[in-house]
Amino acid sequence: MDHEQGLPLPQRYGAIVVVALGITLAVLDSAIANVALPTIARNLHASDAASIWVVNAYQLSITISLLPLASLGDRIGYRRVYTAGLVLFTVASLGCALSGSLTMLAIARVIQGFGAAGIMSVNTALVRMIYPRAQLGRGIAINAMVVAVSSAVGPTVASAVLSVATWPWLFAINVPIGVAAMLGAVKALPTNPGHKSPYDYLSAVMNAFVFGLVIFAIDGLGHGENASYAAAQLLSAAVIGYFFVRRQLTQAAPLLPVDLLKIPVFALSICTSICSFCAQMLAFVSLPFLFQNTLGLSQVQTGLLITPWPFAIVFAAPLSGVLSDRYSSGLLGGVGLVALTAGLLLLAALGPHPAPIDIAWRMALCGAGFGIFQSPNNRTLLSSAPRERSGGASGMLGTARLTGQTLGAALVALIFGIAPVGGPTVSLYVGAAFAAVAAVVSTLRVMQPHVA
């Protein structure tokens, strides 16, 4: 196929549906387990603290394997890595559903996380091959919309499933969807030739230690663990990271694409992504506490009032994706992030008895701002890398999202520990600060050369 022209119609539609199905499964499973933790702990006779490993095991295995699998995709082909990820994720989902102990469930979640990493690591690289160059923004917009909406509606989907079925069904429903996606991947996804460079296994191990130690340290600080222990983890990560980066500088196609970070617009897009996802996660984690504990709303009302955020993304992301094929992503991203900043500040300034409409339009403003930013940012990040390095760029995109989300969640826990009464409001102000920084960084890209 001509990679500059993308896939012909109607194969293009089938391929983007497969990509959307896979990324929905991977992202949704990051969110749905949180809601079920108390139920899982009771059912498996485990402590609340131990049950958190159902979430941590999944997030950790994704984080440590995302870049190694993206690098593997550059070598052996994105379709092979994506399809293998779907297979692993689907089999592990069945294992989760059949688990009879917390240990079995945690092990199945680790395997499921590796499968999700295979999906996430190359999904945007596949989008770059599916769409012609002139329409890349539209494909990125669809992908960004699916990721954002899946993240936002995860708790709602989990609540709906748990209202009619037991917790194993949260994982069992992945199986038929995963099988359908696997069959579609074989038929519709494009292939790329890859290259013959030997795989750097040592770098993969070093990558796992660096990201694993950082995630453990941030999570530990957020949950009030010993600060000296967290500091030792961060110091260890820094030492290993130093030698890891030095090793990458000697590689022609490094596992951690430090060479891509030398491209100014790529580096700025990564920074923008980390800050914006940190802002979003600060809001997503703190808003239910604001609505229920501070404003006295019910769980049902909370779910309904959170809905305008992802609903606005559904409309804003495709529009900004089309515009990103014509206008500067730095400008579009800056406008969207200013809107997100304003929305978060307005939410933080809510009075003690707001009307539902006052909350809803503020949530919609946040969602519209995030949707306007995300598609152009992802398009620029992906297209600024050489086409043969699309896997590395895709892996960095996913890593930036996970880093921002992990940092945001840890900051909420830290803020709640310091300010238990006003924690949700403080978290929203901190989120607004991160969004404002992201807006400034995004706007800096206007001065960079245009990337097609």
The token pair at 252 is: 């022609």
Among the residues of 195-298, which ranges form H helices?
Answer: 201-222, 227-248, 264-289
CA distance 172 to 162: 12
The pTM for the full model equals 0.79
pLDDT band at residue 3 under the 50/70/90 scheme: low
CA 33 to CA 54: how far, in whole Å?
7
- Do 41 and 54 touch, CB atoms closer than 8 A? no
Please give the Cα distance from 119 to 58 (Å, whole number).
14
Match 């593997």 to its residue by tokens: 72
Give the confidence band of 162 by pLDDT, cuts at 50, 70, 90. Answer: confident
Structure tokens at 324: 């990103």
pLDDT tens-digit profile of 263-274? 888 888 899 999
What confidence category does residue 48 fall into, taking pLDDT thresholds of 50, 70 and 90?
A: low
| Residue pLDDT, tens place only, 181-210 | 999 988 888 887 767 777 888 988 998 899
Please report which confidence band the pLDDT of residue 370 belongs to, taking 50, 70 and 90 as the band edges: very high
Average pLDDT in the chain:
84
Tokens in use for 5?
Answer: 């022209």
Q: How far is residue 213's CA from residue 235's CA, in Å, rounded to a whole number?
A: 9
pLDDT in tens, 401-418: 888 887 887 788 778 878
How far apart CA 17 and CA 81 sit, in angstroms, is 17
Closest CA to 396 of 39, 165, 122: 122
- Is the N-terminal amide bond of 308 cis, ω within 30° of 0? no
Backbone angles phi, psi at 244, to 5 degrees: -65, -50
- CB atoms under 10 Å from CB of 227, counted, come to 11
Residue type, 341: T
Contact 400, 277 (CB under 8 A): yes
Distance CA 230, CA 239 (A): 14
Percent of the chain with pLDDT over 90: 27
Structure tokens at 314: 């559904």
The predicted structure's pLDDT at residue 452: 39
User: Hey, what amino acid is at 184?
Assistant: G
